[in-house]
A and B are shown apart, each in its own frame.
Chain A
Amino acid sequence: MEFPGLEALVAISDAGSLSAAAQATGIPRTTLARRLERLEAELGDVLLSRSETGVAVTPPGELVLEHARPILTAYSQLLETGRQAAGVRAGPTGSDPGGDRT
């Protein structure tokens, strides 16, 4: 996972809430929330507005989402390109590095 913040943003906005995103991805909601907060701090803007009923994507969040989806798709393709070059059939389960470390 090279883009944990972008993945968290996409997952939460797609699922509609932190809890639903945690269920869909298998990533604890505290981890998702932390990754999103880091991305927001890095970009200096609120990307999702939180409420008791769920989340809503803010205008800057929409802007990031427009870029995040192509970036994540390109990253998946990059991994696949590497696998094909190495003659590896599929990505090893669970070996994708956690994105919180640098």
Chain B
Amino acid sequence: MRPLRLQALLAVAETGSIAAAARREGTGRAVIRRRLEELGNAIGAPLTTRAGLRVELTPAGEAIVGPAQALIAQTEGLRRLFEQRDTPVGHYRVAGPLGLAPPVTTRVRRLARQVLPGATFELITDPDPISLLETDADFALAFGPILPPGPWKTTRLITMNERLVATPEYLAKHGTPRHLDDLDDHQLVVWRRPGHGARSLPLSDGGSHPVTPWLVSNDSWFVWNTALGHEAICLLPYGPLPDPASRAELVPVLDGVVHRRCTLQAVFPAGSMSLPRLRTVWRLVRAVVAEF
């Protein structure tokens, strides 16, 4: 956006020589001559003329020095406007996993408002949100901690617990399991975390318990709704800030027995750190998350 031809004209006007103008602009004499020629062509008349060792402006060149100064100041003003923004105000395309459930989305929305109060967003959900990086999304939200290999910069947004839940109504009708084997008598719906199977439940002691789920889904919101519909005992990621309404409706099952930590991470392409708008988001997200 730098008006290089106008800058060349001003440099020659102020120094009186092509060589001095080239030094001031940090380029070669041929480049300065070419820029002057191009600007002169746009006008239809030469802008400089030789006067011995010095270069002088023609009437056309003289006439546009003032407007050129004003125009350069205008473009510099626009550039500074963007350089000095410490809070991004842009539009961000965010790739997210399928079916983020309310406790998680509540937290993510709060983070977004806190970190980027002036920005607007588009959330694109996909079973593999990381696959959308660099083409359709600026950054991605992905369940971790294990991610597909790639040149990523990641930061943890939320730590969740995978656990079994059901409604009091379901448990009143079908009974409350006291032992892992009691699950054989229940409808079991399992959220399949990316990169993991769904034929075993994660246990607090690091082990696993084999199960035959009635239904498996990679959509945690779908599983959440199945639980709220009094239909099954469900394994799902349970966030730190449950929706108050949902918290009252769902109760833990085999609490302290079935459990695994799960994180939601913000994933940026490592190459995007050269872009101020994403570098700033990365810095702000890390700073805010560190306060939790």
Residues of A bordering B, CB below 8 Å: 1-3, 5-6, 39, 41-46, 49, 58-60, 63-64, 67-68, 70-71, 74-75, 77-79, 81-88, 90-92, 95-97, 101-102
Q: How far is the CA of A70 from the CA of B93 in the complex (A)?
A: 30
How many pairs, one residue from A and one from B, have CB atoms within 8 Å of each other in the complex? 127
Q: Does B45 contact A45, Cβ atoms closer than 8 Å?
A: no
Q: Does A63 contact B275, Cβ atoms closer than 8 Å?
A: no
Q: Does B44 contact A77, Cβ atoms closer than 8 Å?
A: no
Known: A39-B1, A67-B77. 20 other contacts (CB 8 A): A1-B42, A2-B6, A2-B39, A59-B89, A60-B89, A67-B74, A67-B78, A67-B81, A79-B42, A79-B64, A82-B60, A82-B64, A83-B44, A86-B58, A86-B59, A88-B43, A88-B44, A95-B42, A97-B39, A101-B34
- How many chain B residues sit at the interface, stated as a range, is 35 or more
Residues of A within 8 A of B1 (CB): 3, 5-6, 39, 42-43
Closest B residue, CB atoms, query A85: B63
Residue B215 interfacial (CB < 8 Å): no
Residues of B bordering A, CB below 8 Å: 1, 3-6, 31, 34, 38-39, 41-45, 47, 58-64, 67-68, 70-71, 74-75, 77-79, 81-82, 88-91, 93, 118-120, 122, 138, 275-277
User: Given A79-B43, A95-B41, A102-B4 in contact, is the A59-B74 Cβ separation under 8 Å?
Assistant: no
User: Given A2-B3, A91-B44, A95-B42 in contact, is the A71-B75 Cβ separation under 8 Å?
Assistant: yes
Most buried by A among B4, B6, B47, B67: B67
